[in-house]
Amino acid sequence: MIRHLKHHEINKPLWDEHLQQCHNNRIYACSWYLDAAIPQWEALVSDDHQAFMPLPVYKKFGLSYLGFPPFTQQLGIFSLKKIEEALVKNFIAAIPKHIRHYDLFLNTGNNFDLENIIQARTTQVLQLNNPYETIYDNYSENIKRNLKKNSFSISENIPPQDVVKMFKDEKAHQISDIKESHFAILEKIMLHVVQNNFGECVAVVNEKGEMKASGCFAKFGKRIYYLKGSSSEEGKEHGAMHKLLNYMIEKNANTDFEFDFSGSIHPGLHRFYKSFGAADEHYLHIRDYRMPGMLKWMVQKIK
């Protein structure tokens, strides 16, 4: 049986403990991450607590619906046991009936023949279980060329506020659905990462110490996540982001970690991340409207 839990009913320490043990765990499903991205999230949990699904619940004009919180690439169903197609379908079917619409990104462990699939999205992941020299050999010639000509330096322990400000100034205008409130969420996530030693904020700086690229990187399970970052126009001209990502890859090479670029279906970004030797991983985008046609039309207009 699958139970629906309101936010106050969720045992967050147990949630995080079990998530850590899931083979398909993702940092986006940690209770602290969800608390930052969507504070009143709810959950579906199996009776034995072996499988669970966060529910990112939003409300608008009296209607409850599930959406994807900002900076949250993958949610869906997580399990301590092997995930079967029936389990995923049962959890989706158990979404409470008062939820009149859902628009969700699942995770790479939920790839089955489901109903209401909109598309298969991709992220790019690089295995780090080789010496750096071996990983570097698989870089594209363009990446190698940009690294060789780059004269900037790496600066560690950058305040998360500075990384968010640079992202807001240099990158946010390219994202159509970003809101002012999202920057506070991003800063809260990055602060938690740094303050709890889950990762670090790093920058590429010129000889004057001016940031030309920056990013936040977090470790959870066996993955290192490139959570978010950006590059200035000068940084783009000099391959600053190449240097930043290469630094994190070299620093963690020859370990059991995977480097998750938190990739994109945008052709340019997809090509850029793949040029580091990363492989595609796929996850599903599903959507359904559980309402009459006229109400469905209204919801589509107000979202």
Boundaries of every domain in the chain: 2-122+283-302, 129-256
**What pLDDT is recorded for position 299?**
56
Residues 143 and 276 sit within 8 Å (Cβ to Cβ): yes
**What pLDDT is recorded for position 297?**
58
**Residue reference for tokens 């969700």:** 104
Q: Which two tokens stand for residue 240?
A: 């600053």
Residue 218: C-alpha distances to residues 28, 197, 221, 224 (Å): 11, 9, 10, 6
For 129-256, CATH gives: 3.40.630.30
d(CA 105, CA 286): 6
Same fold, 2-122+283-302 and 129-256: yes
Phi, psi torsion values for 247, nearest 5 degrees: -60, -45
Q: Which two tokens stand for residue 226?
A: 């490139």
For residue 63, list its beta bridge partners. 60
Each residue's pLDDT expressed in tens, for the chain with a length of 303 residues: 999 999 999 999 999 999 999 999 999 999 999 999 999 999 999 999 999 999 999 988 788 999 999 999 999 999 999 999 999 999 999 999 999 899 999 999 999 999 999 999 999 999 999 999 999 999 999 999 999 988 899 999 999 999 999 999 988 777 767 888 999 999 999 999 999 999 999 999 999 999 999 999 999 999 999 999 999 999 999 999 999 999 999 999 999 999 999 987 788 889 999 999 999 999 999 999 877 665 565 555 555
Domain 2-122+283-302 has CATH 3.10.20.740: no
d(CA 270, CA 254): 24
**What pLDDT is recorded for position 293?**
60
d(CA 78, CA 24): 6
**What pLDDT is recorded for position 172?**
73
**What pLDDT is recorded for position 263?**
80
Residues 271 and 265 sit within 8 Å (Cβ to Cβ): no
